[in-house]
Chains A and B, each alone.
Chain A
Amino acid sequence: MTELLVKNACVIDPIRGINGDIMDIAIRDGRIVESVSDRAEVIDAQRCLTLPGGIDSHTHVCGTKVNFGRYMSPEDMRAGRTQRRGRMHVTSGYYVPTTFGNSYRYSAMGYTTLLEGAMAPLEARHTHEEFTATPHQDMMANTLFDGNWAVMDAVREKNVKKAAAIVGWTLNAVKGYGIKLTNPGGTEAWGWGEDLTSIREPVPHFEVTPAEIITTMIRANELLKLPHSVHLHCNNLGKPGNYQTTLDTFDLVPDLNPDRQTLYATHVQFHAYGGGTWRNICSKTEEITRSVNSKPQIVMDMGQIMFCRTMTMTADGPMEFNLHCLHHNKWSNHDVELETGSGIIPVTYSKKSAVNCIMWAIGLELALLTKSPWQCLLETDNPNGAPFVKYPEVIGLLMSKRYRDEECATLHADTEGRTSLWALEREMDWHDIAVMTRAGQAKALGIINQGKGHLGIGAEADIAIYPIRTDSVDPAREYRKVVEGFQKTSYTIKRGRVVSRDGEIIVDGANTTFWVNARIPEDLRVDNDPEFIRRFQEYYTVRMSNYPVQDLYLPRGRRVDTEAFT
């Protein structure tokens, strides 16, 4: 039995409605309890800001595409190198760090749970191998279904149940957590070097539209009773004028679940562009947020970009190729048979570029114009918009109009006229930030009842104590202190153990991987369907029996069972 007592913590725990109370937190064997014995180890939080462990609901840290980003970037590995030290392994890289680099840096920032944003089922084993080498965060994998042949066939047959059964079998086989759609239908079209330009355009050969894929998968998701909603990267990412596609997509979404959103729209900054060319691109965040503010069934995340050199990586292969044609730098592409695609290119976001400045403003506008912080979560689509180590700066910008003004003064002159950021006075408070960096994520991912995102009795003791005194720091003026405070916790506690102290990792980690097992009635199971099996054996290049990820790849896997179709 191990016990820990955190005393004098200034707790913000939005899920339990606690906002800045000074209190003690008792921990026994990794969970939060009413009280502990007097033998418990004591940490004095000294009235510093204490939050549930940070949760990133959309980041790219593990798997084939991330590792390829590393593989092709020895120049980035020269940045951020650290030696082996105590419990810490060697790390390399700034925007595509090694697994240990990611894990240590997230931990230093108080993050304890991550959702890998895109896992191709065929390559799931790879993602899980890297999860075990990312030891300080509990992990989940969004599983890609955007170009899944069997799913598209079911969509064409208007057979939601079959689509659900395919998803259920696949999630179970690859130990995935939820449904990810990246440019639905577009990644299959990219198999022929093409893309789709609207949600009503049919996928070549399969004759289904993105709109049909999205609506079917939303219903399948709810049939399966998955904890998370469909997680969507909309069509037409990064194209001027794409906001209309985004609005059309949002209009498709019914409100089907009382506990959480029905659609999670990711990195919406990349999907909120007006204009028709790169020359007249402008912000359409008012239209986008008007839609979201009236649709509680939608939660989005920011996809904030920050000015730096970084790497874009997504399953959206055609988008990456278009970007490559603009940048003329290196380009990797990796299409995955019968399932999805992916692309990777390095980019530099510069204040000299009007387009980049507008993108930067759009991300912030989305957060500031969305009324409920529960509906617009903070992330950078790491590393696409910026590496996650930039989160503290994003927090600073959201909390301080002055900080924004100072930054705005350094931007390309065309930015002001094509965005609305200059006019936005809103300054977010500590509670808003707590929602946007953990509580909102826990709710959106459906992991509150797994004990994540809050500090209630029975919750997992994942806690971040930041060296910030909310009673003495004025974030609007002293935003530098805010940024610094969020860069490095005093203590990051993971399942009741202090894992990081003032930025230094002090133990070997032992994470958990959450995955979903939807129980599907025998008669609907696709692994009993001879036609499904025949097509699998004929068109995949691995045998169906070798496809599932064995349990041993998840040494501390936690299965989340759902009773599908009930």
Chain B
Amino acid sequence: MILNDVVCPFCGCLCDDLELEVEGDRVVRVQNGCSLAEATFMNDTRLPAPIRRTTTGWEKISYDEAIKETADILKDADRPLLYGWSSTHGEAQSVGVHIAERIGAVIDNTSTVCHGPSILAIQEVGHPGCTLGQVKNRADVIIYWGCNPIEAHPRHMSRYTTFATGFFVPDAQRERTVIVVDTRRNDTANIADEFLQMEPGGDYAVLSALRAIVRGKESIIPKKVAGISKEQLIRVANICKNAKFGAIFFGLGLTMSRGKYKNVRNAIELTDELSRHTKFVISPMRGHGNVYGSNEVFTWMTGYPFAVDFARGIAFYNPGETTAVDILRRGECDAALIVASDPGANFPRVAAAHLAKIPTVLIDPHVNATTALSRIHIPCTAAGIDAAGTAYRMDGVPIRMKKVIERGYPDDAEILKKIYDRLNGEMGS
């Protein structure tokens, strides 16, 4: 069977133009997708059934048993942590938030180690942005700052920017100027019209210098800023000011480097400054397929995009204090529920190690590094493969992921709902 206009759930691009050939419970061909999409659909091996760690190894258990034990672990915890959420759909995320408020947990999503700093920056200065189609149809200047779309978002350039034909930019490759700022000359840099190679950690200084130049204060800028010549900075500032429509895309190069959210804030303030001269927008290159959706769902339900602490009954938010890595690092939490993510692989050692010290339950379709740190691993559907649901693209456009095959697993929203119902039953109102 051929399926058209399928949504790839892998990265924040959420490309929705894939063509899939399906035979029974397998995807046998992926067209239009990048290699990440191909691997997502075709190389999808699962944990067959729920497992529980014993003193010596692992044993299979039933879903009912796994759900009951999970509810018991959460019910008794003094400071449970619910983490993950970015590779599943909004329906599961909603239930997750309800569980968190029910049991007084901290709930955090993977943006905490991804674009959490971007959120902190936006909370300080806002976010002048747009949907990706605005960029595709209008932008004549594209800046990739601290990101490498060729590796991390392989179709970003062909669908939305450099190589995409837009209404006002019919000859994209000729009409768009591409600027890349990075510490490494990566593959994306190789196709740039301007490449600014910067010393590691120099983002903030370079952004400040560009802002000052745009404000007409170039006289005080030193000859070199973080390894970039003043001439090149002035040239780039002029390209930006003379753009008809400029778009900055930034990645983890800004959010993870020294200064973290201050780098992002500075990039946003540069965008703001440029908006006084021409049209300029800025957007984070969100990673996981539905990480932005987890921010959206958390926000409308709790008021905060990530790192929400319900310990006091109300919602409290303070990244650095209520973020997953910090809570694990300080050894605060005494139980953890991990959904659709892999902190075992993605968290620094000390934080990951705490998961092995406490009862940790993992709900995820795949065996991953966190499996080894868990007490129970409950397999479920993978959103966008054998489960449908809502995801939010990196620019906030909500897209319905499709169910393309049936593999006989329960949906994670359904597992979570059962846990929630058990908790409600046992804890009363």
Contact = CB atoms under 8 A, between A and B. Distances in A.
Given A332-B126, A335-B130, A84 B102 contact: yes
Contacts of B272: 324, 331
A532 interface: no
A71 B301 CA distance: 11
Contact of A90 (B101, B134, B159, B245): B101
Given A68-B396, A81-B315, A89-B301, 8 more contacts: A64-B396, A70-B299, A122-B133, A123-B398, A324-B272, A337-B131, A337-B136, A541-B160
A5 to B, nearest CB: 28
Contacts of B94: 133
Nearest to B310: A90
Contacts of B314: 81-83, 90, 92
23 contacts: A68-B127, A77-B317, A81-B314, A84-B101, A84-B102, A122-B397, A125-B400, A126-B396, A192-B138, A192-B245, A193-B280, A330-B122, A330-B125, A330-B126, A331-B126, A331-B128, A334-B129, A334-B396, A336-B134, A338-B133, A539-B137, A546-B5, A546-B7
Interface string A323-334: 011000011111
Interface string A44-72: 00000000000000000010100110111
B16 interface: yes
B138 A191 contact: yes
Contacts of B303: 70, 74, 76-77, 92-93, 97-98, 101
A561 interface: no
B123 A74 contact: yes
A550 B122 CA distance: 32
B124 to A, nearest CB: 7
Contacts of B245: 191-193
B16 A125 contact: no
A163 interface: no
Interface in B79-137: 90, 94, 98, 101-102, 119, 122-134, 136-137
B278 interface: yes
A72 B122 contact: yes
A350 interface: no
Interface string A168-205: 00000000000000000000001111000000000001
Contact of B17 (A205, A543, A550): A543
Interface in A86-100: 86-87, 89-90, 92-93, 97-100
A129 B90 contact: yes
A471 interface: no
Contacts of A546: 5, 7, 16, 399-400
Q: Is the interface of B mostly helix, strand, loop or mixed?
A: mixed
B281 interface: yes
B275 interface: yes
A73 interface: yes
Contacts of A345: 126
B392 A333 contact: no
Which 9 pairs from chain A and chain B are nearest by CB?
Answer: A337-B133, A92-B303, A193-B279, A83-B313, A330-B126, A77-B303, A335-B130, A125-B398, A332-B126
Contacts of A123: 396-398
Given A71-B119, A330-B126, A546-B16, A539 B133 contact: yes
Interface of B: 4-5, 7, 16-17, 90, 94, 98, 101-102, 119, 122-134, 136-138, 159-160, 165-168, 244-245, 272, 275-276, 278-281, 295-296, 299-305, 310, 312-315, 317, 390, 392, 396-400, 429
A344 interface: yes
A130 interface: yes
Contacts of B312: 83
A90 B130 contact: no
A540 B244 CA distance: 20
Nearest to A63: B300
Nearest to B245: A192
A118 to B, nearest CB: 15
Contacts of B131: 122, 334-337, 541
A538 interface: yes
A145 interface: no
Contacts of A205: 168
A99 B429 contact: no
A539 B164 CA distance: 10
A321 interface: yes
Contacts of B160: 541
Interface in A422-442: none
A545 interface: yes
A413 interface: no
B305 to A, nearest CB: 5
Contacts of A68: 127, 396
B302 A90 contact: yes
A338 B397 CA distance: 13
B126 A335 contact: no
Nearest to A122: B397
Contacts of B398: 123, 125-126, 129
Contacts of A543: 5, 16-17
A542 interface: yes
A507 to B, nearest CB: 12
Contacts of B300: 62, 67, 70, 98-99, 129-130, 133
A323 B396 CA distance: 24
Most A Cβ at <10 Å: residue of B245, B279, B301, B400:
B301
A345 B125 CA distance: 10
Most A Cβ at <10 Å: residue of B5, B126, B301, B392:
B126
A67 B305 CA distance: 10
Contacts of A125: 390, 398-400
A72 B119 CA distance: 8
B133 A193 contact: no
